[in-house]
Structure 1
């Protein structure tokens, strides 16, 4: 019997799908029961200190090591089938090694033969934007220039997934700005970016969502705005007359009288109740400090294990 024409079509598989992923090295568990989904066209931050399991997870995604348990797919292809899975990926490692006797131009041509289709016009623009001299031999390149070669090669491809592992190590601030611009352009083209970084301001500026890994386990997956709402916001106000009475205002914590008609308090959750209370007083100025991603991140790792 013919299928109904309005039957639901199966959804496209996500860019990355990890289910119960576990990797053990002898008695050491590097990654434990990691389940994570990264959608197509998403810029996803992957955070954690050294030893958290980030690099091991990336090596599994690239087929460089096999998981002890669980599964990992890229656009529906099992990463254990390296040939199929690698069709989807362009990768930039934290420490780039190049063929020392080849020039930058020769290396880009060589990488083109082994990866996804390349947009040559865009690659030429990237060479100019990253100020890379392609005529020099790789052995003369600094760490930053080696990184530029890898970044140009990756961003110039039309690979649906870019896996970037600490990609801006060695770049100066001007080149880091170009990197951020490239990530935004990749996202606008519909590419997925999986970004592992210690530069939390970079992740905060670029990523749609972040995952925080701790001792091989997933601590949190959330949008950055959602992570901020989980943490306290610091508010400082100046006033004339009587200070606002925030003692019974929902969400207000740790009120502190600073003197000179100034008051500081921390706020957890929705701001509306506190704003209504402040509106009933003669407030002159108000300053709000939202916690950075770094502060949120350190809160997860500062102190004892939970």
Structure 2
């Protein structure tokens, strides 16, 4: 398994964000982590990345326990929802900086060409549109060859052609046996890409399975309505 999580708990103040998460994520598949705001998605991802320290539980990534072992992160490529880079740094300087920090073989030239970033390499990040910044972030994520890729809202700001290229990249990485975790509010994108759905509600895994299984469980006419039905079902359970 790429990721093994056992009995994971995390509390911030009085808010119990994760409540006994048990999860096994295998190789060579695309997993979509879904759920409403406040469901624990971000905390779960940051726990996997070692950016949040759980109160209880155990996480193994690529057969290495994450506790007190930062080196496993070098085998993860991560695209954050909001990447806070210095605004006055140029695109080419940022790429070189990340390459130096990772100190790993990289293949950015083809990606720069694929997303049409050549004319922007000498420009400062502060001058770029949101969509162009996202293309830069995608290049920074995919230019390394890591077995685990985590993408937090990767489609934000992308034009249709860039979105097609992103989908192609994700499928290419999957074909190489890599594991990919995705969070997204764009249900059409999730439906096209995901092999498995993990739906979180109130810090617990409320559904885990394929899209076909989700449709069968909810009886919904399509994927978007099936996801909505999970939230409605939970809300009715709380009210009863």
Which structure would you say has the larger Rg? Answer: 1
The TM-score with structure 2 as length reference comes to 0.92
Check whether the contact 2:4–2:24 (CA below 8 A) recurs between aligned residues. Answer: yes
Q: 1:89-168 to 2 correspondence within 5 Å?
A: 89-115=76-102, 117-120=104-107, 123-132=108-117, 133-168=120-155
More helix as a share of residues: 2
| Structure 1 stretches of 4+ moved >6 Å | none
Distance 1:190 1:228 in 2: 27
1:22/1:199 CA distance change after superposition, 3 Å: same
Give deviations 1:218-244, integer Å, cap 9, x for gaps: 0011011221222336xxxxxxxxxxx
Asked if residue 54 in structure 1 is aligned to residue 44 in structure 2, the reply is no
Aligned to 2:228: 298
1:176 — aligned with what?
163
Structure 1: stretches of 5+ with no match in the other structure:
1-13, 234-290
Shift of 1:82: 4.4
What secondary structure does 1:66 align onto?
coil
Partner of 2:206: 219
Q: Which has the higher contact order (CA 8 A, sep 6+)?
A: 2
Distance change in 2, residues 1:106/1:29 (3 Å)? same
Q: Separation in 2 of the partners of 1:118 and 1:149? A: 18
Q: Please, what TM-score do these two structures have when normalized by structure 1?
A: 0.73
Shift of 1:61: 1.1
User: Is the strand fraction higher in 1 or 2?
Assistant: 1
State whether structure 2 residue 177 is matched by structure 1 residue 190: yes
Distance (Å, rounded) in 1 between the aligned partners of 2:42 and 2:149: 15
Unmatched segments (≥5 aa) in structure 2? none
What per-residue deviation string (whole Å, max 9, x for no partner) do you get for residues 16-67 of structure 1? 1111111011211011111111111111110011101000111111111110
Per the TM alignment, residue 148 of structure 1 is displaced from its structure 2 partner at its CA by 1.3
